[in-house]
Structure 1
Amino acid sequence: MRDNVDTLLAREAERRSGIPAWLDIPEPKGFRPKRKYRTIWISDIHLGTRGCNAAMLVDFLSAVECETLYLVGDIVDGWRLRKGWYWPDAHNEVVRRILKMAHRGTRVIFIAGNHDEMLRDYAGLSFGGVELALESVHTTLDGRRLLVTHGDAFDGVVLYARWLAFLGDKAYGLLLRANIVFNAVRRRFKMPYWSLSAYMKKKVKNAVQYIGSYEEAVANEAISRGFDGVVCGHIHCAEIREFGGITYYNDGDWVESCTALAEDLTGNLAIIDWIAETGGHTVMPEALAEASA
């Protein structure tokens, strides 16, 4: 009864203010306590693709609160959407959850990546409480200055051979489709999610060499600009490493690894592996609307 009253009140508020009613609907009673963080970084969600683990991301976002949320590029996959429209309800729920966090006081900073490069022309503007930027600077609780960038500027393939990047993206897309089928079979046998594409990438020698070179290039940029560290995404490989006195952080992705980087309330930064924490089991898409209401 109380939930119905809250819904009616929210709808009346929407009618008067123009703000969507769902932004003000409270979390369901009995919902799990939220983990509180100072800062969270997520990237490479690739909304608009079949490889996006939207259900797992909504489950994660529903479980946390933070003062600042960085969306570190490739949130929406414009490359794929130009080829054909794919946007299930689960992807709407990701957007809805992020906007709800912004409405409730979280500062949300969206740094455009190469797959959502169409947003780079709008850097400096904001929509729905989400700030658009090309890059950002984050100051940790202990005073360290971190460069926050998607990271595609340090990828020689994307920067100097765009046609090769698109070709690689197509091959990667085929691998992700195989990953979807592979995990559909695992679900039938009640087995947890496991990324075939991530496993294959780690086993290919050239991919391992590329990742190492990329990390070094990003770290050297942070060193040359006088930062204490750098946070990026782009290569779908979560990592924390030391390079020449600075710290390299990669928050991973929500296609393969389902990871985020988080700064807790004491200033400590760590990778959150949501697959490991949930055992690879999470809410299914049909339950998303209820989970994020």
Structure 2
Amino acid sequence: MNKFYKTVIISDVHLGTKDSKTKELVSFLKSIKCENIILNGDIIDAWQLKKNGKWKKKHTVFFKYIMKVLEKENINVIYIRGNHDDFLDEIMPFSFGNFSIVKDYIYESFGKRYYVCHGDVFDSITKNLKWLAKLGDIGYSLLLWINRYYNVYRKKRNLPYYSLSQTIKLKVKKAVSFISDYEDQLCKVASMKNCEGIICGHIHQPANKIINNTHYLNSGDWVESLTALVENYDGKWDVIYYDVWSIGADKISNVEEFDLEELINYNFSEQVLI
């Protein structure tokens, strides 16, 4: 049975990379119903695609699924650009029907205003020192490589997915300090925008907490954490962890594989694709 939410927010899918957990993401999205989907940046990883990244069939499946729900379920989809998909700067703001591409967004919920942005423009390294950010991206890719093969080892032993890279990051004092500074900075930005909350991504660190009277929400990622933010119909926000959500459910089944093939062959000839 599908779970119903008012809004679902995902970010940092990094389509075009080996570590993008697209199959799990589509499986999650198929299990829920909602009115709004916010794609909060770094959905496509243009940085990696320019280097040695590879666009796979499963990456196309994700966008075909989004287009399918746009057409059949009349869901509002808002795509916010991130630093890895900053090529969207060339076309935004863009709007067609229920689909839009924007730099940022004000989301109103039960009388509260939330400033929604990817968050990279408030990261001093990403904003001012792009060469250093890309150098750090190389080190991060190595960390993900370790994570990938560690989980191959776990899968062979029928163990659930575990983010070794997240564990390593949280044991590095500078990384923990960076995350804390980032959260504080984003909460200040929310106050400047006359908002009671901030919804962001970028640092691959899911969160739902109050910082200095500001509601800080981070949707995490679909590379390491495999998380999404969901707003319930009573206004309550939750972080959904895929590994917890999928406990007790079958692994992506043959029936689901058939559905994915159906998506691949779905006729979008009458749709406007970007």
TM-score of the aligned structures, taking structure 2 as reference length? 0.90
1:270 paired residue number: 238
Gaps of 5+ in 1: 1-32
CA distance in 1, matches of 2:10, 2:235: 17
Report SS of the residue matched to 1:120: helix
C-alpha distance in structure 1 between counterparts of 2:104 and 2:75, whole Å: 18
1:125 aligned onto 2:94: yes
Question: 1:290 matched to which residue of 2?
Answer: 259
Identical amino acids, percent of aligned pairs = 36
CA-CA distance at 1:205 after TM superposition:
0.8
Segments ≥4 residues shifted beyond 6 Å: none
Equivalent position to 1:215, from 175, 183, 188: 183
SS of alignment partner, residue 79 of structure 2? strand
1:82 aligns with 2:50: yes
1:139 aligns with 2:111: no
Distance apart, 1:286 and its partner CA: 10
Aligned length: 260
Measured after TM superposition, the shift of residue 181 of structure 1 is 1.1
Which of 196, 204, 207 is matched with 1:239 structurally?
A: 207
Structure 2 counterpart of 1:58, one-letter code? V
Distance apart, 1:67 and its partner CA? 0.6
Among 26, 37, 47, the alignment partner of 2:5 is: 37
Q: Measure, in 1, the Cα distance between the counterparts of 2:261 and 2:37.
A: 17
DSSP-derived class of the 1:203 partner: coil
Closer, same or farther: CA 165–292 of 1 in aligned 2, 3 Å: same
SS at the partner of 1:197?
Answer: helix
CA positional deviation for 1:175: 1.0
* Larger Cα-atom Rg: 1
Q: Indicate conservation of the 8 Å contact 2:61/2:260, yes or no.
A: no
Answer yes or no: is the 8 Å Cα contact 1:251–1:260 preserved in 2: yes
In 2, are the aligned partners of 1:40 and 1:70 still within 8 Å (CA)? yes
Provide the residue aligned with 1:97 in structure 2.
65
Question: Could you say what the CA RMSD is over the residues aligned between the two structures, in angstroms?
Answer: 1.9
What is the identity, as a one-letter code, of the residue corresponding to 2:108?
T
Query: Which residue of the partner structure matches residue 109 of structure 1?
Result: 78
Alignment gaps of 5+ in structure 2: 263-274
| Distance in 2 between residues matched to 1:138 and 1:270, nearest whole Å | 16
- Mean Cα deviation higher: 245-254 or 67-76: 245-254
What's 2:145 paired with?
177
Give the deviation of 1:97 after TM superposition: 1.5
Call closer, same or farther: CA 1:235–1:85 in 2, change over 3 Å: closer
1:181-237: CA deviations, max 9, x gaps? 111111111111111111111111110000000000000011122101010000000
Q: What is the CA-CA distance between 1:139 and the residue it aligns to? A: 0.7
Kindly state the Cα deviation for residue 277 of structure 1 after the two structures are TM-superposed.
Answer: 1.7
